[in-house]
Amino acid sequence: MTEDVTVRRALAQSGLVPLDAQVLLAHVLGMGRAWLVAHGDDVVSRERSDAFLALARRRHEGVPVAYLTGVREFWGLSLRVSPAVLIPRPETETLVEVALARLPKDRDARVLDLGTGSGAIALAIAHERPQATVLATDVSADALEVARENARRLGITNIEFLQADWYDGVAPIWRGAAFDLIASNPPYVAAADPHLGEGDVRFEPGLALTSGGDGLAAITRIVAGAHARLAGAGTLVVEHGYNQADAVRALFVAAGLEEVVGARDLAGIPRIVAGCLAA
């Protein structure tokens, strides 16, 4: 006779670190992690136990938890994710904070999110600024489908999607005016960075991680093209690598952007550069 598997025993049998085990079991059971703590002696059915252990095996192989559950929270929004998109990270919420500080709540605005992926940045801004209209672009049709589905699920309607390679196909004048804000979390990891072969990153789309060389190619293109699409006093805000702040600031200055400032993420790492066009 097979011994019943309880919640506590299933977590232990997985061999995963506690957080990963709890997230995956909660996903399989359709419960929250707090429920697991309060119901450690509850029996898990064989079907769900097997499903959980199958996910645990894939996690041991390195597959990111977000891809196993298909969900990642960002800015308080529950986003669908898949291997077609970069997994949204907490440090990118710093970019959203900087962007929102430049967008008044009480008037219309036009926002462009370049390389939207799952739609994390665009949807967070659209959610917080319902009077704004957001255009989210990506070169990947698969990524755009994920972003569109997230917008549908969340009921966010002040957003549109366009397949485009950075600015290619994005008209300088959109919805009758230039953009008040351009935001992007582009690929910025250097091609030779060993982190590309480690951890969760191994499973994420390479085009979303690196543009080759020193990692600055995409940022250079984004900064160079911003002037033609920003309205007067409009803002460009980009995320960059931990050691790229000085180089990115220099690109902003060379492009004629003013009031160039940086911001650090919650870990204290330089992560964001923002600048604006003259009024």
Of 70, 61, 30, the residue nearest 200 (C-alpha): 61
Mean pLDDT of the chain: 96
All domains of the chain in start order, with CATH: 5-61 (1.10.8.10), 83-276 (3.40.50.150)
Tell me what percent of the residues of the chain surpass a pLDDT of 90: 95
> To 10 degrees, the CA torsion angle through 186, 191, 197, 200?
0
Strand 132-138 vs strand 109-114: parallel, antiparallel, or unpaired? parallel
Axis-axis angle for helices 245-254, 217-226 (nearest 10): 30
With bands split at pLDDT 50, 70 and 90, how would you rate the model's confidence at 279?
A: confident
Of 205, 207, 206, 235, the residue nearest 223 (C-alpha): 235
With bands split at pLDDT 50, 70 and 90, how would you rate the model's confidence at 1?
A: very low
Name the residue with higher pLDDT: 3 or 125.
Answer: 125
Axis-axis angle for helices 120-128, 93-101 (nearest 10): 40
How far apart CA 89 and CA 73 sit, in angstroms, is: 9
The pLDDT tens digits of the residues spanning 160-203 come to: 999 999 999 999 999 899 999 999 999 999 999 998 999 999 99
What's the pLDDT score for residue 3? 67
pLDDT at 6 over 50: yes
The pLDDT tens digits of the residues spanning 134-166 come to: 999 999 999 999 999 999 999 999 999 999 999
In 90-209, where do the E strands start and end? 109-114, 132-138, 159-163, 179-184
- Give the CA distances from residue 156 to residues 89, 123, 196, in Å, rounded to whole numbers and listed in that order: 21, 7, 33
